[in-house]
Structure formats: structure tokens, C-alpha cells
Amino acid sequence: MVLVALLALFWYGLPLFTAKPQLYAQYAQSQAVFAAGGQLLALRPASDERYRLRLALTDMAPALQQATLLYEDRRFYQHFGLDLPALARAFWQGVVKGGRRQGASTITMQLARLHYGIDSQTVLGKLQQIGLALYLERHFNKDAILEAYLNYAPYGGNIESVAAASLIYFGKTAAELSTAEALALAVIPQNPLQRNPERQNGAAQLEAARARLLQIWHQYYPLTASEQQLLQIPLRFKRRSDLPFTAPHFVQALAVQQPSGPLHSSLDWHLQQQVQQQVDTYLRQQQRLGLRNASVLVVHRPTMQIKAYIGSADFYNREIAGQVDGTAALRSPGSALKPFIYALALQQGHIHPKSLLKDLPQRFGLFSPENFDRRFQGPLTATAALVQSRNVPAVTLQAKLAQPDFYQWLGANGVRLPQDANYYGLALALGGLELSMQQMVRLYAMLGNQGQYRDLQWLASEATTKVAMTQSVSIETKPWTVTANPPPDVVEITSQELKKRVAAENNAGLLPEAAFLTLQMLSSQPALQNARLAALTDSPPVAWKTGTSYAYRDAWTLGLYGDYVVAVWLGNFDGSSNPNLVGRTVAAPLFFSLLPLLGEQQHANQQLFAVSEKLNLRQVALCRQSFQLPNRFCPATELGWVIPGVSPVALSELHRPVPIFRASGLRACYHQPPLTELQIFEFWPSDIAALYQQAGVRLQQPPAYASPCSQLTQSQAKPPQILSPQAGLTYFAQAGRPLALQVRLDGAATQSYWFAGKRFLGAVSANETLFWSASAGEYQLRVQDDLGGSSEITLNVQ
């Protein structure tokens, strides 16, 4: 009785004076990456070069648990870690009678051996195994022990755990195992060397053991004749060499973030396969152009989940350095960043979508940007300048950005450049920097996500809350009635709340209104005519932009289509040039060929391009020539979007009345009815008027004066605007390189007079350039027109 009492005291007191063991403290896991649909993308060995994955018992097929218990330990849920009848039987048969040794280890004892690395072939090792089995039983329930055993059990070679074995031998998770597959895995741990299906005759021995287990199974779980025949069909086992390595660049990027354990990624397996096939097909078709490599990134914009990820055309192709990840590599974006210069210009009140910009030769200090086609188109709207990717307007707008400027804004939105702002200067507008496709996609997603900057999501679970948040925001359109001449307060209001929002968001992200207008501007560009795209219902709009880097090294197309952001790059990782690497001609066709793979996006597109009630946007009538608010002389108007309190809209002064003598048709100095009548003429600024003339557009000019006027005045005239040199810049005096003095005059002015302090420098006609050889010093540079208007700047010459 005393002995029984001591044993009971030991048993029940064991948890009190022993610490609970850590079953998985040293459990090194493999990395298993799954697609969003559960397909295995890759399985990589653990740090000890073994395939091993931890899995909860509830994620293992019930048939696997039942088969394991039948084969290894039928009284598992009845004993306390030791099966005493089995131990006695094994002792009698193997020791007393000297017969064949029989196994008597319970699942708990086997777990103790596997977990603690015990040599159970010796008497001391066996006693240690028994003691540790009792130790485990007193600290864990049966389900936890069975789960741990299945996570440690050997399944042949360097394969451990039923989760890894299921993926390797059958290409499925342990929860998806059929009864036949469960029976096969249940018999391997008892003899993993001989029953390894990858070994010669290993599959045959495994099938023989499975057949014996099937007979036992039938006793406990009766089968119909057809079911038994089905279970007797030999299984086909896969090998470790058959493991998939889908989306290798994506898998490697995830390995850096989480090097071990199962990862349920956001990648769409089917879309990944389709995109890869399309890239392969396209590059085969374009071999004659020397195109050999491409990268593609497809992101679900509302959740920012990565859905397709092509790092290179061929991961295993050394000739193209295929193992380089093109979505993460730093490359020049060419003109693909221009939309964000326009977005900031919209946000800071420099333009609205129909503002007139000048595409003409212009100097910014020593920087003289040129267009891709080496031509200049003259005056054009901001939307046209963006869509046509004109360089001079983009550089001009970048020069106006402040608080933040473009460099500061990029840094606040995930693009931290290695050099300071002065190193890049205004070349940022033309792609004079390097950033990755992943960074570009995050920026483009902002245009469809109300200007919010958000990181990419690699795992399916990370975006769950973001999905719910996005779906809770309803997009509702609101009609706006526009009159021909809206009241001034419609567009001239000052919203304190809006100013606060601008101040709060001027670094990170974009003002939602600016993001939406930029999106609309990009969508005005017609999609490439493509047979596959034409098959889409109603040809939904696409907001897209191309880019070509300096010396034809990179060709880009990025855009928003429904719920997706798609980015395409073609080029060479060694930076070699190819004159065919032009964004519009080689990247855009591949971009548009991918859109049909994304499925029906009609409803998503309606939401993407709908005007939310929450946006502070208004459509107003603008004068069709000047794109300002129409005065009473403007002959025609059209609607345009503005941000009240921000957009630079004022009353148009382009159309002005001119008194004309009825008898002679000549111009009068002032209106003298009934001798004169008022006729309307367009008074374009001098530089724009000259551009129209260069383009062959004849502007109707007022007739000559009937007689000299004592004083030329124009009540509506604008003061001259100095274009060159620019205020705030330092100029260096160079022999033989005089400064170019250029001014923009009101349309009614014909002459400009230049002064440096009180010193007269010269006079030139409208739109002519005066050249001045300036010495070092600081000057008050002033210009005056023949209408009496003047402007001046402080000029620093060194």
C-alpha cells in the first residue's frame, strides 16, 4: 500500500515540481509558400536541411489520425503513456522466451524518443524513454501529444512531419488526404528507411504495409466491396524533385520576410500562370526586336495584395540574369513619374486639368529640356501635356512645386533617394532617378485609393481588415448643374477645412481631389487598339502612362484598370541599350494584353471613375480658348473640373472689345458711338501668340489705329512676366555666353524695355530675346512694356 501511495504521489505531484516542457522550442520549420487558393508555390528545407512543418491536429485529415492510432497505438486514449499489457507481452516474448522482439512503444514514448533524441535500443535509453513519456503525459493532453508526434514523425529521407510528407508525396495538405493516402503515410514512420517511396523497392514495401493496415482498417471501419477495391489501387507518389517552384522571385522575397513556417500568400495561382504564359508568348513574338526580358506586377488595389509577380522572363536563364528580381531592381522610370508632378501641381493650385501650358523651348539655368520627338507643340492643356508626355510642361510644373517639392514628396512616399535634392534638380520630372517597380505600383495605387499611400500586402491574412474597410466606403455620384456663367463664389471660395487637409497631407499621399483628377486625366488617353482588349464589354476606360528611360534602357507602362494596378517593364538587367525599348511601342502592347486576364471589371471601373460626394470637386463652364472663367465676351464654353479654393481659375481676359470705326474699319483710340462699334478680338500673351504663328495658326489681329494715340492703355492688360532669367537661381558669368532675357507680354503689348537697376539694356519687340553679357554682381532686373506695365526680379550673377 505504501508503494502504491508513493507512486500515486509521484504521479499527481509530477507537474508541481517539474516545468512544462517546450515541445517546439527547437523545432526548425521549412518554408512552405501557398497561393491564395491553397496551391503550393514552393517548399524549402528548414535550416537543418530537413523538410518539416508544424500543423495543428484539427488541420490533419481524420482518416490520418485514425490510421496512425490503428497502426501505432490502438489504446492511446486509454493508457497513461505506457501500455503495460503490451510491455509485458514484449518482455515475455523477447526476453523470457528469447523470440522475435516486439514493439511496445506507445505514441507518447515515440514522441519522447523523437523530441529528446533518445537511443531507445539500450536498457538505459529505454528507461529514460519511459520516464520522459510519463513526464509528457502529465503535462499535455492526448490530442496535444498526438499532434506533436505527427509533427515529429519521420517519413523517409529528410522528410519529417505529416504536413511536409503530404505536400511532397501527394502535392496536397494533410487536411486534403484521401483515406488511401492517409493509410500510406500512417505506415511509413514505423520503418521510414525501407518504406521510403523514393527508394528502390520502397514504394512496393510501403504498399505491402498499407495493404496489411487496410485489413485492420476494414475491421474497425467496415468498407463496401467497391470501397475496398478502390483503396487497393496502388498510389502514385511524387518525389522531392517534383516540388513546385512557382513565382520564384515572389517566393524568395517572402523568404526574406519570414524564412520559415507556412505562408499563405496573396498570390493568385491561376493569374500567375496566365501572366507568365502571356509574357513568354509576347517575348517570343518580339524576338526580332531584341526583347528578351520583362517584369510584371499585378496588385489588387483595394487590398494592395500582390496577385501576380513576374520578376524576370525566365528565372533559370543566366544569359538574361534571370534570378534578378525586376520588380525590386532600381531602374529609371522615364516619364512614368509625370502623373505625380501633375497631381502635386493640382493639389498646390498651379493648374486644373484644362489649364493652358506652354510646350516651347525654355531654359532653367543651364538645363534646357527637350521632348522625346525633339519638337514643341506650343500651347496645350494640362491633360494633353500629361497624356502626350511633353517634357517642358512637366519640368515647368516641377519647378513650381513647393512645400513639398517633388523630391520631398517622393521621400515621404517610400522613394528615398541616395543623393540630396540638388543632385537631381529638375531632371526628376524626366526620370533622372532610380526606383523600383514595387515603389512605382504603390504610387500609382494612390490615384485610385483616394490619395492614400499604402504598402504592398504579400500575405492573404494581412489584408483582411483592409478589405472590410475598403468595402465599407461607398462611392456615390452626385449630379452638378452648371450654368454658362457660374457665380464667382463657386470657384473662388476659401475653404479653411480644405487648407487644413492640404497642410496635413502635403507630404504623405495626395489630396483625394488631386488623385481623382489625375486619374481622370490619365484615362482620357485612348487605349491601344488590341484584339483582345476590343473583346472587353464596352471598352472600359484605363488610366495608364508609359515611360522610356534615357538611352533606351527601360520601357515602362503602368496603369489602373478596375480593381487592379498593373505594371510592365521591358529591358536588360545589365543596363544595355536597345532603340526598340520605347514604352508606348513595346511595353504598352504587353500591358494591354494582360488586362483581359483580370476578368470583368466593368463595375469596378464605374466605382474607380465615379465622383464621390466626399470630394470637393465642381464642374464649371470654362472659356473654350483660355480655359478660364468666361467673361461676357467669350463666344463658347465647355465644362471642366476644378477644386474650389485651390484651382487657379479667374475671369478670362483673352476676349476683349476693340472700338472700330464703322466707316474705315480702322481702330479707334477709344469708343465713340455711333462712329465706332465694339468688335471682339483675342489678345493672347506674346509667347503663345508666337507659337500659334509658328504652327501656322492665323490669329485675327485688330486693325491698325486710324491715328496715333497719345497714350496706349489697356485696362485689362496684364503686367509683363519675366521668363528668363529665373528668380531664385544663381547664374555664372561665362565669356561668350550672354544671358537670354525673355519676357511674356500681354496680348495688347508690342514692345519690351529692359533695365539693370537704372541702366538701360535694350528694347525688343514682343517675343524677341535680348542677350546681355552680365558681369558678376547682384542686379535688380526690370522689364517694362509699352502699355506701362512692369516687373522686376533680383538676379545674382557669379
pLDDT (tens digit per residue) in 415-453: 999 999 999 999 999 999 999 999 999 999 999 999 999
Task: Please state the φ and ψ torsions of residue 572, each to the nearest 5 degrees.
Answer: -130, 135
> Exposure string (b/e) for 346-358, b if CB count within 10 Å is 16 or more?
bbbbbbbbbbbbb
What confidence score (pLDDT) does residue 778 get? 87
- pLDDT given at position 492: 37
Contact at 8 Å (CB) between 657 and 633?
Answer: yes
**pLDDT (0 to 100) of residue 597:** 96
Residue 403 DSSP class: S
For domain 721-797, the CATH class is mainly beta
In which residue ranges of the chain is pLDDT below 50?
3-4, 7, 462-496, 499-501, 503-505, 531, 533-537
| C-alpha cell, 487 | 457665380
H or E, element range at 393: helix 391-400
Angstrom distance (rounded) from CA 392 to CA 718: 24
In angstroms, the CA 51 to CA 192 distance is 14
CA dihedral 318, 323, 324, 326 (to 10 degrees): 110
Give the Cα separation of 72 and 83 in Å (integer).
12
User: Where are the domains positioned within the chain?
Assistant: 21-30+41-242, 721-797
- Name beta bridge partners: 742: 724
CB burial of 399-426 (b: ≥16 within 10 Å; e: otherwise) equals bebeebbbbebbebbbbeeeeeeeebbb
Note the pLDDT of residue 93. Answer: 59
Superfamily of domain 21-30+41-242: Biosynthetic peptidoglycan transglycosylase-like (1.10.3810.10)
- Per-residue pLDDT at 103: 56
Q: What is the pLDDT of residue 384?
A: 94
pLDDT of residue 745: 83
d(CA 187, CA 156): 11
The model's pTM: 0.80
Using alpha carbons only, what angle is made at residue 429 by residues 427 and 432, rounded to the nearest 5 degrees?
45
Do 31 and 258 form a contact (C-beta atoms < 8 A)? yes
